[in-house]
Structure 1
């Protein structure tokens, strides 16, 4: 452990922190048409910027205020003598740490011209807490002060060249049980054509959307399939404190022509809203989930925005909610204008069906959240969607588990691709950290046993220890604790860099961020970042 030899001087203002130029020699210039995701760095107008989340065509010089997508790191060093290079290895950006716990702050420093490194300064909230003059450059800081802190490293070479690393934001919390934010939503869709109301775990839900009510081109409504079932659902859910909405639309074979027609005129919208409000009040529903799949950018998007604004006024006047199911990301997302964000209580992001293999990866969830929040959707109004079914076999999760109990703890059986318990837990934690809730399609696909995906979501949201173990237990020769899972750390270098050509081969396991991952095939990617890794367990 390195000593905090400058901490006292820094705290009392006996040393100053120099303003230094950053080494931007390895950075590409920002391009308006290029997509950038969280952590990507660019050079723009002689300054260095880091993207916080998904962004495209948002000028870093304009969108770099604290609440916007770009973070300005500083001014670039003019072309001349090369500067040293320093990069933070730990801690992980946006990580949480218990107060009074030790936090390893580690950096890698080098120089493109092999000028010797004099020392590395470590800073917390712009105050130097320690200086290290020997590699490996690191210090252990005791987590102090609840809330967010900015971690940074600065390097000085023997010719007094200086450079700064990017910033890492960490949060110090009171204990290891993260209390879910007030208003965190757990939303489930429930179809008219399958599933029993008696099987729903109402105590683990905040909202249920009954699916689907279909409109006609003139704004009238088609008869609802299985109306008696919806009435039973409303009675059971509301007695348990769960809100019930009617989901309007759905995939419907890709036919959204009725929406396109009635939404294109003021009279058509008025007729639809009048009929829908009468339906909501007649059946004592709590709100509406608009599931128009999908308005296209252009005139369709403008009509959708008008429809949502006018419907929102009517629903809010009656104390009802308005939500919408939206595409995960991409071109069709442009059919939902930013003005709609103000009219809805939240958006349900359908972060699944990306493809047939690994159609709902953890990375796809990250990208979906980044896309919508990058356009201005608030964290509180972001609800992450997860699937309770597989592709391309289109099997319910409960069917997969019935075929093989081990399927509960993985994301594929070799033919089907889905989200098992570990991935659902990880996505729920992501939603706790980065969104306002989590949603699923659909509830009848779940099991009612201990391997229930809804139970897994609810336990994470409440900070409850998992009741179903996915740690390899079940056989006499298998470990019962995640910390006992066998890995061979000598085969790997610390992730995520994989220097010197190191990689993982299929079936090999590694520890990363307090979890064990197994490689599905040859990979050099960060464990858990894509489909090349399977989550095994967390300890």
Structure 2
């Protein structure tokens, strides 16, 4: 029995050896090779050894440190990669670092690309813009530095002069769109309103949303001779109308002063050139009208001491049929005298063709200029960069219909959108050039970046043509 078992064992071993060393069929070879490749993809290999403070490194030695690779320029020992000039950053294998995103959180030593420059985070950060916020440091030895500190020096076109003269082109920029500040056409603007600083019941303001974006806009705007105002309020905040908040914030003379001082303090803190009040809307009855007037008069006298502007977004004044809004009278003569100008919201007259026609714009302008005897230079005509009832931005309407720039009605998502195409925008701009002090836009990010079809570019072209 034992001898028989020994023979069987020897035969089994021989069979196994034959199986292992026999050539595989082609399909089996391919399957084995594929499995080997899959396995290799799951293996993590450290391309470079970790930096050692005790080791000596020579020129072109590469080490890994804090998730990045560094190459020595010359002999070094103990010099920390990323902190001394002897080390230069080695780019990823594809040569590109991730582009900074305002919605992504970064931790210390994370590296991003922004405006063609590389920045390293010093600590945890979210939404703070590289090159502006102290949390980011510019990495030395950047292979593609941007010699121009202005990230968007002439976005209106390659050889276009800025808008000059007294005619105003005012664009609102929403604080909730920090990723789009690089699309601002500074050459086609004279003023930007950063929207919004949010009031509180106790007569103060919430912290400014995306302050780094505001700082970047102010810096670039000033480099292009454009002024930036802090817009306060708006229709609502987090779905709640702000009318009652404004009422509470100005309910006593003491709170009017406190609220006004808080607004001015924030404007000065960030370097804004003035304040745009967006109380939507003071009423002609009750105490609303007087509280609004008291606030505006106080802001005017205090801002003038600082050589800063005061403007206000106001009702169209009339319906699309020309019927006067009762509450338009809440913007009293004292307020008209206090402001540098009104941004007249000559839109949202209703859905469809009631939204913002040329005729509606003219009726709105005439109410403030003729019925209210407001100086023409203080009337700035508002135009929309969106449609109703879809509320779609012009850029989305244009994407749905590439010819939307040449008309005022287009279909988007199965809905008919009424908006202002280039011909109507040009016609309104010409009316304002002939009769008023400027045009205002709600809001800049809703425009297209295609300058051939851009509404703001059309405004800029019309204004420059008038001044030539």
Both proteins in one fold, TM over 0.5: yes
What is aligned with 1:368?
A: 364
Is the CA contact (8 Å cut-off) linking 1:218 and 1:268 kept in structure 2? Answer: yes
The C-alpha deviation readout for 1:160-219, integer Å capped at 9, x for no partner, is xxxxxxxxxxxxxxxxxxxx9941000000001125111101011000000010111111
TM-score by length of 1: 0.52
What is aligned with 1:222?
A: 206
How far does residue 464 in structure 1 lie from its aligned partner after superposition? 6.8
The residue matched to 1:303 in structure 2 has which SS?
Answer: helix
Distance 1:225 1:375 in 2: 36
How far does residue 381 in structure 1 lie from its aligned partner after superposition? 0.2
Distance 1:247 1:413 in 2: 31
Is the CA contact (8 Å cut-off) linking 2:197 and 2:230 kept in structure 1? Answer: yes
Matched, 1:300 2:283: no
How far does residue 257 in structure 1 lie from its aligned partner after superposition? 1.0
Q: How does 1:108-507 map to 2 (within 5 A)?
A: 182-194=165-177, 196-252=180-236, 253-298=240-285, 299-329=287-317, 330-358=325-353, 359-373=355-369, 374-414=371-411, 415-449=416-450, 450-463=452-465
The C-alpha deviation readout for 1:285-338, integer Å capped at 9, x for no partner, is 100000000000032111111110110011010010000000101122121111
The C-alpha deviation readout for 1:209-257, integer Å capped at 9, x for no partner, is 0001011111111112111111111111111110000100001043311
The residue matched to 1:302 in structure 2 has which SS?
Answer: helix
RMSD of aligned Cα (Å): 1.5
Aligned residues: 286
How far does residue 435 in structure 1 lie from its aligned partner after superposition? 0.6
Q: Rg: which structure is higher? A: 2
What is aligned with 2:145?
A: none
Distance 1:254 1:275 in 2: 21
Distance 2:215 2:443 in 1: 19
How far does residue 262 in structure 1 lie from its aligned partner after superposition? 2.1
Is the CA contact (8 Å cut-off) linking 2:202 and 2:255 kept in structure 1? Answer: yes
The residue matched to 2:298 in structure 1 has which SS?
Answer: helix
Q: Give 1 or 2: higher strand fraction.
A: 1
Unaligned segments of structure 2, at least 5 residues: 1-162, 318-324
Q: How does 1:508-523 map to 2 (within 5 A)?
A: none
Unaligned segments of structure 1, at least 5 residues: 1-179, 466-539
Following TM superposition, the consecutive aligned residue runs of length 4 or more in structure 1 with deviations greater than 4 angstroms are: none
TM-score by length of 2: 0.60
Distance 1:258 1:404 in 2: 41
Distance 1:340 1:419 in 2: 30
The residue matched to 1:439 in structure 2 has which SS?
Answer: strand
The residue matched to 2:410 in structure 1 has which SS?
Answer: coil
How far does residue 448 in structure 1 lie from its aligned partner after superposition? 1.5
Distance 1:181 1:348 in 2: 19
How far does residue 413 in structure 1 lie from its aligned partner after superposition? 1.0
